């Protein structure tokens, strides 16, 4: 059994940034990243917004990022006009400048530099977490070859939306909607620069999103609620193509392209842990709070909160007693701001007020009167999307974390 001061579970953008920042700002702490994947499979999230730049700079990896040559786009703001009726909704999202990320290379680069800066790296899945009587954790990891036992004073859950560690120790989470992305990749042939920018287009049942990917394909995704997806049979390729007709700009964009893959459905709901830290653990990135992809800030915020997490952990080991509490407050304040932004963006669309997808979003509160503490007690709690539809988020009593 090996001991590390900090075990980071998951080395996506949030976990790798936490590791990098710990090595840079708190180099006396020993750190290990445990990552289940080998960075070969593409993952959702093609857009990196410019907010990421100062963070990459602070972590001394901006030059390495720029050397990766991810395609960049920049578009001039466009005015509303009758011919392009979706602009109101799309214009509420700041997608005028950014990079089309190759996530496998980007995530691999961050984890690689964290390892080069002195963090250990284990390619395995966390399968079990045990809280010991001396206040330490034992983490069981499993790889294709063997299982391993790690002993640590502090655990970081950076396992993304699954929040695998928090789930393991019994921390409940709240689902705020049941958004899913039903997507397909199309082979891109055109060199037309107008094809470069991401496009968001509202339709009766949600919104379509399309953006070129780094491997010269166009990712085309219909975002809707799980029950609507089921009712419309959107996961069937023929129905997906049929519904594309409701989005003329997106349809025009894909008309000349070859289909390169089957339809796949991914969870994209807004969710939050009831508590994103305990006595000697914290959750970061999507594991703590996952936001609606309409904001296109998921990766940038994972980087930002990786920095905050490192600061909180440094404070915890340095006996700054308030550091974890401050981190929790920061995560929840940002999440509330995100809910507010999400509500404003959805309210900018007024064409289908009676359609279930839009009605649900027009009637959510953009603020949380009384603050997070009061508001979270009214949330519906769910373990995911099982069962489909809004009923998936059924009322359950809050249970205290097992730790």
User: Would you say 205 and 214 are in contact if contact means Cβ atoms under 8 Å apart?
Assistant: no
- Of 94, 104, 95, 85, the C-alpha closest to 40 is 104
d(CA 47, CA 207): 17
User: Would you say 56 and 62 are in contact if contact means Cβ atoms under 8 Å apart?
Assistant: yes
DSSP result, 79-134: ---TT-TTHHHHHTS--SEEEE--HHHHHHHHHHHHHHTT-EEEESEEEEEEE-TT
- Interface with ligand FAD in residues 145-164 (CB under 6 A): 158-160, 162, 164
**Is 212 a binder of ligand FAD (CB under 6 A)?**
no
For the beta carbon of residue 302, count every other beta carbon within 10 angstroms.
Answer: 28
**Is 15 a binder of ligand FAD (CB under 6 A)?**
yes
Output the smallest distance, CB 253 to ligand FAD, in A: 17
**Is 230 a binder of ligand FAD (CB under 6 A)?**
no
In the set 268, 294, 341, 381, which binds ligand FAD (CB under 6 A)? 268
User: Which residues are 173's β-sheet partners?
Assistant: 273
Select 157 or 336, whichever has its Cβ closest to ligand FAD.
Answer: 157
d(CA 280, CA 26): 17
Select 159 or 224, whichever has its Cβ closest to ligand FAD.
Answer: 159
Binding region for ligand FAD (CB under 6 A) out of 42-50, 68-76, 82-90, 350-358: 42-50
Query: What angle in degrees, to the nearest 10, is found between the helix axes of 298-317 and 323-347?
Result: 170
Select 125 or 280, whichever has its Cβ closest to ligand FAD.
Answer: 125
Output the smallest distance, CB 178 to ligand FAD, in A: 13
Select 34 or 59, whichever has its Cβ closest to ligand FAD.
Answer: 34
**Is 102 a binder of ligand FAD (CB under 6 A)?**
no
User: Which residues are 8's β-sheet partners?
Assistant: 33, 156
Select 13 or 172, whichever has its Cβ closest to ligand FAD.
Answer: 13
Binding region for ligand FAD (CB under 6 A) out of 39-47, 81-89, 382-390, 393-401: 39-47
d(CA 206, CA 220): 14
Select 85 or 274, whichever has its Cβ closest to ligand FAD.
Answer: 274
Binding region for ligand FAD (CB under 6 A) out of 6-14, 247-255, 327-335, 359-367: 6-14
In the set 102, 286, 311, 328, which binds ligand FAD (CB under 6 A)? 286
**Is 10 a binder of ligand FAD (CB under 6 A)?**
yes
d(CA 306, CA 128): 23
**Is 356 a binder of ligand FAD (CB under 6 A)?**
no
User: Which residues are 220's β-sheet partners?
Assistant: 184, 210
In the set 24, 42, 44, 215, which binds ligand FAD (CB under 6 A)? 44
d(CA 386, CA 20): 36
Binding-site size for ligand FAD (CB under 6 A) equals: 37
- Of 188, 231, 186, the C-alpha closest to 206 is 231
Beta strands at 199-203 and 206-212: parallel, antiparallel or unpaired: antiparallel
d(CA 138, CA 129): 6
**Is 13 a binder of ligand FAD (CB under 6 A)?**
yes
- Taking residues 294 to 333 in sequence order and writing x for each that binds ligand FAD by CB under 6 A, - otherwise, the string is --xxxxx-x-------------------------------
Output the smallest distance, CB 305 to ligand FAD, in A: 8
The label of the residue with tokens 């959805």 reads 346
Select 237 or 365, whichever has its Cβ closest to ligand FAD.
Answer: 237
Residues that bind ligand FAD (CB under 6 A): 9-15, 34-37, 43-47, 125-126, 158-160, 162, 164, 181, 221, 266, 268, 285-287, 293, 296-300, 302
């Amino acid at each position: 059994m090996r001991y590390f001061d900090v075990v980071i579970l998951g080395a996506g953008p949030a976990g790798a940034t936490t590791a990098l920042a710990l090595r840079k700002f708190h180099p006396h702490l020993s750190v290990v990243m445990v990552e289940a994947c080998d960075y070969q499979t593409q993952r959702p999230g093609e857009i990196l917004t410019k907010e990421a730049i100062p963070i990459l700079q602070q972590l001394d990896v901006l030059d390495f990022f720029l050397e990766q040559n991810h395609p960049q786009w920049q578009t001039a703001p466009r005015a509303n006009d009758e011919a392009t009726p979706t602009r109101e909704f799309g214009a509420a999202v700041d997608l005028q400048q950014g990079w089309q990320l190759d996530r496998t290379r980007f995530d691999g680069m961050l984890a690689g530099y964290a390892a080069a800066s002195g963090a250990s790296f284990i390619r395995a899945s966390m399968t079990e977490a045990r809280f010991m009587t001396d206040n330490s954790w034992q983490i069981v990891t499993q790889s294709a070859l063997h299982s391993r036992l790690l002993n640590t004073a502090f655990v970081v859950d950076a396992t993304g939306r699954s929040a695998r560690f928090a789930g393991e120790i019994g921390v409940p989470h709240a689902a705020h909607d049941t958004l899913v992305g039903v997507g397909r990749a199309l082979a891109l042939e055109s060199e037309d620069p107008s094809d470069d920018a991401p496009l968001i287009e509202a339709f009766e049942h949600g919104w379509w999103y399309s953006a070129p990917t780094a491997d010269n394909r166009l990712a085309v995704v219909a975002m809707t609620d799980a029950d609507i997806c089921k009712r419309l049979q959107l996961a069937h390729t023929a129905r997906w193509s049929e519904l594309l007709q409701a989005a003329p700009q997106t349809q025009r964009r894909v008309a000349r392209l070859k289909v390169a893959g089957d339809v796949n459905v991914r969870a994209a709901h807004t969710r939050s842990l009831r508590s994103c830290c305990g006595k000697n653990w914290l959750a970061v990135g999507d594991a703590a709070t996952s936001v609606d992809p309409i904001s296109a800030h998921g990766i940038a915020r994972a980087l930002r909160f990786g920095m905050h997490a490192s600061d909180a952990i440094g404070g915890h080991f340095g006996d700054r007693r308030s550091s974890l509490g401050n981190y929790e407050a920061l995560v929840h304040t940002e999440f509330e701001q995100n809910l507010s932004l999400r509500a404003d963006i959805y309210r900018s669309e007024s064409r289908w007020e009676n359609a279930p997808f839009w009605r649900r979003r027009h009637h959510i509160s953009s603020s949380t009167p009384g603050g997070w503490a009061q508001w979270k007690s009214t949330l519906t709690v769910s373990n995911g999307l099982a069962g489909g539809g809004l009923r998936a988020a059924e009322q359950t009593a809050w249970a205290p974390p097992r730790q």
